[in-house]
Amino acid sequence: MVRWKVISGSLPLSVAGRFMPWAISVGHSKLLLRGLIGDPEGDEPLRVFDLLFQDVSRICLSDAYSELHLRAAPEARQTAEAERLGVWWPSATMYLVDRTRDTDYVVAGRVYWAEVTVPPGASSPLLSEDPDDQEIPDVLYFA
């Protein structure tokens, strides 16, 4: 029994916080970006914001971002990159992750995101294969 609600989200998605590549699952072609929101020196605990890309076919990312600005690449940009690499992604989207550069991206079939209630160093519930996992958020967004 699936206990969470999956809702279509809209892009662009902008979230302030320190985002970084967090986990890769090669066998299932998944990439997780994790954002830590809040002041690491402050009294409030950091909030954790996870993005899970599925059916990943290409990754070109920096080690960290001061904010996330997720959007689908314009068709011309995706076509130019596919031609440059000599590949084509007919059933995938090129997701740009940086507001100022179009060189940082993930090519994937789908992306999900949610604020999750786990400690900053914990494994992401979005990577869980167990639909009864208690830590999976009530609402999961996708584009």
**Number of residues that this document lists for the chain:** 143
Q: What pLDDT is recorded for position 5?
A: 67
Cis peptide before 12 (omega within 30 of 0): yes
Determine the average pLDDT of the residues in 33-41: 91
Percent pLDDT > 90 in the chain is: 63
In a domain, 33, yes or no: yes
123 is a domain residue: no
The pTM of the full predicted model, rounded to 2 decimals, is 0.89
Q: Would you say residue 97 lies in a domain? A: yes
Kindly indicate the confidence band of residue 114, based on its pLDDT and cuts at 50, 70 and 90: very high
Confidence of residue 131 (pLDDT cuts 50, 70, 90): low
Q: Is 125 inside any structural domain? A: no
Q: Assess whether pLDDT exceeds 50 at residue 1.
A: no
**Domain assignment of residue 82, yes or no:** yes
Q: Is residue 22 included in any domain, yes or no?
A: yes
Residue-number span of the structural domain to which 29 is assigned: 5-118+135-142
Instruction: Please compute the mean of the pLDDT values over residues 49-53 and round it to a whole number.
Output: 96
User: What contacts 24+ positions apart, CB below 8 Å, involve 21-30?
Assistant: 21/59, 21/61, 21/63, 22/50, 22/124, 23/123, 23/124, 23/127, 25/127, 28/54, 29/54, 29/55, 29/56, 29/57, 30/54, 30/56, 30/127
Cα–Cα separations (whole angstroms), residue 80 to 83, 84, 101, 111: 5, 6, 15, 22
Q: What is the pLDDT at residue 39?
A: 87
Confidence of residue 128 (pLDDT cuts 50, 70, 90): confident
Q: What percent of the chain has pLDDT over 70?
A: 90
Mean pLDDT of 60-67: 96
Q: Please give the angle made by the CA atoms of 100, 60 and 98, to the nearest 5 degrees.
A: 20
Dihedral in degrees, nearest 10, Cα atoms 77, 82, 83, 86: 170
Q: What is the mean pLDDT of the chain?
A: 89
Give the range among 3-7, 28-32, 75-79, 125-129 with minimum mean pLDDT: 3-7
Is 69 within the bounds of a domain? yes
pLDDT for residue 65 is more than 80: yes
For the chain, how far is it from start to end, CA to CA, in angstroms?
A: 23
> How many domains does the chain contain in total?
1
Interatomic CA distance for residues 85 and 92, integer angstroms: 15
